[in-house]
Structure 1
Amino acid sequence: MARMLALDWTRNEARYVLANSSGEKLTIEASGAISLSELADADFASAEKFGEAIRTGLSSAKVGRATTLLGMSREQVELLNFSVPAVPPTELPEIVLNLAMRESPTVTEESVVDFVSSPDGEDETAEVTAAAVTAEKFRWIQQACTTAKLAPQKIVLRPYATAALLPAGNAQRSLLVNRVGEDVDLTVVDAGHVVFSRSVRVPAQDNNEATTSRLMQEIRRTMMVAPHGSGNRGVEAVYLLGREEEHAELLAVIRREFASDRPGGADDHTSDVDVSAFDVFASLGVDHEAIPKNSGSYAALLGMLRTEADGGTHPFDFLNPRKPPKPPDRKRIMMLVGGLALVAAVVFAYPLYEEYQDNQATIDGLMSEIKEAKASEKTIKKQAAIAATLSKWESGGVNWLNELQTFSTRFPPPRDAMVLRMALSSSRGGIITFNGLARDPAVVTRMELDLRDDTHDIQTPRVQERVQENGYTWQFETKVSMTPPKAASKESEKSAEKSSGKEEKTKSDEKKSSAADKKPTSKSKTAKKTAPAKKTPSDETEDETTQSSKKPAEDSKDKPSTDKQPAEKGGAK
Structure 2
Amino acid sequence: MKTIRLLALEWSETEARLAVASRRGDEVVIEHAFTVALRPDGGGGLEHSDRARQDQGDKAPSESGATQGPTEVGRRIAAALAARGIRKIDTLVAIGRASIELRQLTLPPAPDDELPEMVRFQALREFNALQEDWPLDFIPIDEDSGGPRNVLAAAIAPDLVEQIQRTCQASGLRLRRLILRPCGAASLFCRRQAEGLPKARLLVDLLADEADLTVMIDRKVIFLRTARLPGEPLSDAESGQALLGEIRRTMAAVHNQLGGRRVESIALCGRGPEHAALSERLAERLGAPVELFDPFAGLALEGELARSLPEHPARFAPLLGMLVDELQHAPHAVDFLHPRRKPEPPSRIKQYALAAAGVAAAVIAMVVYGVVEHGRLSDEAVALEAKVKEWESRAADAARLQKTAAEIQAWLGGDQVWLDEFVWLSERLPPPQEVMLTQIQASSTPRGGEMKIEGLARSVESIKAMQERLRDSEHRLVGKEAGEGGSQKEYPLRFSSSVYIGAEPRK
Greater per-residue strand proportion: 2
Matched residue SS, 2:263: coil
**Residue 32 of structure 1: aligned partner:** 34
Distance 2:204 2:124 in 1: 31
The amino acid across from 2:217 in the alignment is: D
Is residue 2:94 matched to residue 1:71? Answer: yes
**Residue 221 of structure 1: aligned partner:** 249
How far 1:322 sits from its partner (Å)? Answer: 1.4
Which residue of the other structure, out of 278, 292, 296, is the alignment partner of 1:277? Answer: 292
How far 1:84 sits from its partner (Å)? Answer: 1.5
How far 1:337 sits from its partner (Å)? Answer: 12
Deviations 1:296-345 (Å, cap 9, x if unpaired)? 110000100111222210011111111234467899999999999xxxxx
Equivalent runs, 1:155-234 vs 2, <5 Å: 155-166=178-189, 167-170=192-195, 171=197, 173-204=200-231, 208-227=236-255, 233-234=261-262
**Residue 550 of structure 1: aligned partner:** none
Deviations 1:185-233 (Å, cap 9, x if unpaired)? 0111222111211110003269711111111111222122214899965
Deviations 1:32-78 (Å, cap 9, x if unpaired)? 11112346434456333332332233222322343311110010111
Which residue of the other structure, out of 274, 280, 291, is the alignment partner of 1:252? Answer: 280
Distance 2:458 2:342 in 1: 29
Moved over 6 A (4+): 228-231, 327-340, 422-425, 457-460, 479-482
How far 1:291 sits from its partner (Å)? Answer: 1.4
- Alpha-carbon contact 1:121-1:127 (below 8 Å) kept: no
- Alpha-carbon contact 1:154-1:317 (below 8 Å) kept: yes
Distance 1:248 1:236 in 2: 19
How far 1:115 sits from its partner (Å)? Answer: 0.8
Matched residue SS, 2:131: coil
How far 1:290 sits from its partner (Å)? Answer: 2.6
Matched residue SS, 1:21: strand
**Residue 159 of structure 2: aligned partner:** 136
Distance 1:424 1:58 in 2: 65
Q: Could you say if the C-alpha distance between residues 230 and 426 of structure 1 is closer, same or farther in structure 2, counting changes exceeding 3 Å?
A: closer
Matched residue SS, 1:283: coil
- Alpha-carbon contact 1:424-1:430 (below 8 Å) kept: no
How far 1:182 sits from its partner (Å)? Answer: 0.6
Is residue 2:264 matched to residue 1:236? Answer: yes
How far 1:117 sits from its partner (Å)? Answer: 0.8
Distance 1:143 1:425 in 2: 55
**Residue 323 of structure 2: aligned partner:** 305
Matched residue SS, 1:282: coil
Is residue 2:110 matched to residue 1:87? Answer: yes
**Residue 513 of structure 1: aligned partner:** none
Q: Could you say if the C-alpha distance between residues 44 and 70 of structure 1 is closer, same or farther in structure 2, counting changes exceeding 3 Å?
A: farther
How far 1:480 sits from its partner (Å)? Answer: 7.3
- Alpha-carbon contact 1:113-1:130 (below 8 Å) kept: yes
How far 1:99 sits from its partner (Å)? Answer: 0.7
For structure 2, list consecutive stretches of 5 or more residues without a partner in the other structure. Answer: 44-64, 359-429, 435-456, 468-482, 496-507
Distance 2:42 2:225 in 1: 27
The amino acid across from 2:5 in the alignment is: R
Matched residue SS, 2:336: coil
How far 1:119 sits from its partner (Å)? Answer: 4.0
- Alpha-carbon contact 1:5-1:63 (below 8 Å) kept: no
Matched residue SS, 2:17: strand
Equivalent runs, 1:151-550 vs 2, <5 Å: 151-166=174-189, 167-170=192-195, 171=197, 173-204=200-231, 208-227=236-255, 233-258=261-286, 270=287, 273-286=288-301, 289-326=307-344, 428-430=463-465, 478=491
- Alpha-carbon contact 2:254-2:261 (below 8 Å) kept: no
How far 1:280 sits from its partner (Å)? Answer: 0.8
Q: Give the TM-score of the pair, scaled to structure 2.
A: 0.62
Q: Could you say if the C-alpha distance between residues 35 and 458 of structure 1 is closer, same or farther in structure 2, counting changes exceeding 3 Å?
A: farther
Matched residue SS, 2:5: strand
Is residue 2:171 matched to residue 1:148? Answer: yes
The amino acid across from 1:9 in the alignment is: W
Q: Could you say if the C-alpha distance between residues 161 and 74 of structure 1 is closer, same or farther in structure 2, counting changes exceeding 3 Å?
A: same
Distance 1:325 1:23 in 2: 32
- Alpha-carbon contact 1:24-1:309 (below 8 Å) kept: no
Distance 2:488 2:320 in 1: 42
Equivalent runs, 1:6-85 vs 2, <5 Å: 6-38=8-40, 40-41=42-43, 42-43=65-66, 46-85=69-108
Deviations 1:108-144 (Å, cap 9, x if unpaired)? 1010001111242555221111110011211111122
- Alpha-carbon contact 1:244-1:277 (below 8 Å) kept: no
- Alpha-carbon contact 2:87-2:173 (below 8 Å) kept: no
Matched residue SS, 2:315: helix
Distance 1:155 1:5 in 2: 12
**Residue 423 of structure 2: aligned partner:** none
How far 1:165 sits from its partner (Å)? Answer: 1.5
Deviations 1:403-459 (Å, cap 9, x if unpaired)? 9xx99xxxxxxxxxxxxxx99996655569xxxxxxxxxxxxxxxxxxxxxxxx998
Distance 1:235 1:281 in 2: 25
- Alpha-carbon contact 2:177-2:335 (below 8 Å) kept: yes
The amino acid across from 2:262 in the alignment is: G
- Across the aligned residues of Structure 1 and Structure 2, the Cα RMSD in angstroms comes to 4.2
The amino acid across from 2:311 in the alignment is: K
The amino acid across from 1:245 in the alignment is: P
- Alpha-carbon contact 2:100-2:156 (below 8 Å) kept: yes
Matched residue SS, 1:177: strand
Q: Give the TM-score of the pair, scaled to structure 1.
A: 0.55
Distance 2:163 2:320 in 1: 24
The amino acid across from 2:27 in the alignment is: K
Larger radius of gyration: 1
Distance 1:193 1:277 in 2: 20
- After alignment, is 217-226 or 423-432 more displaced? 423-432
- Alpha-carbon contact 1:18-1:63 (below 8 Å) kept: no
